Amino acid sequence: MSYPLVGLNKIYVLFVFTLCSVSTMAQSYLGVWEQINNDGQKGALVRIEKSSRANTYVGTIIHVFRYPQDILCTHCKGDLHNKPVVGMQFMYDMEYKKGELVNGKIIDVKTGKTYYTKLSYNKQDDALLMRASVDASGFIGETQVWKRYK
């Protein structure tokens, strides 16, 4: 005698397990990160969280080092021009795909320029690799290491 529902139950359990795994992996990106500039200096503390838009993530500057906390983004364009850097959502539209946050944009608050960005999580070091580039493929740009803030 065959029990076809048994096979369906296995598929359902596998589907739920896969969804939980993806959700857990995406959770690795959430939290506060210490942005380290390429000169080795601390730049800012950044909070990464889920956006109000479905399946997207954003980054907000919550503290800056080596600058007053009330510094303004004088080079930013549009609505962000002359707005406080601390509290600014400077990274947006990040989508979780294949273990990375991709297809996002990031604003360099020193220049006001916007770049494509991708974040990769390094579980061994509990760190993020943030790639900012002028091209969507990520070929021309630079990478920073962001350490989890404790």
pLDDT at 100: 93
**Distance (Å, rounded) from C-alpha 20 to C-alpha 18?**
5
pLDDT in tens, 80-93: 999 999 999 999 99
pLDDT band at residue 55 under the 50/70/90 scheme: confident
Q: Whole-prediction pTM value?
A: 0.81
Tell me the two tokens of residue 43.
């730049």
**Distance (Å, rounded) from C-alpha 56 to C-alpha 147?**
21
pLDDT band at residue 37 under the 50/70/90 scheme: confident
pLDDT in tens, 5-19: 444 444 444 344 444
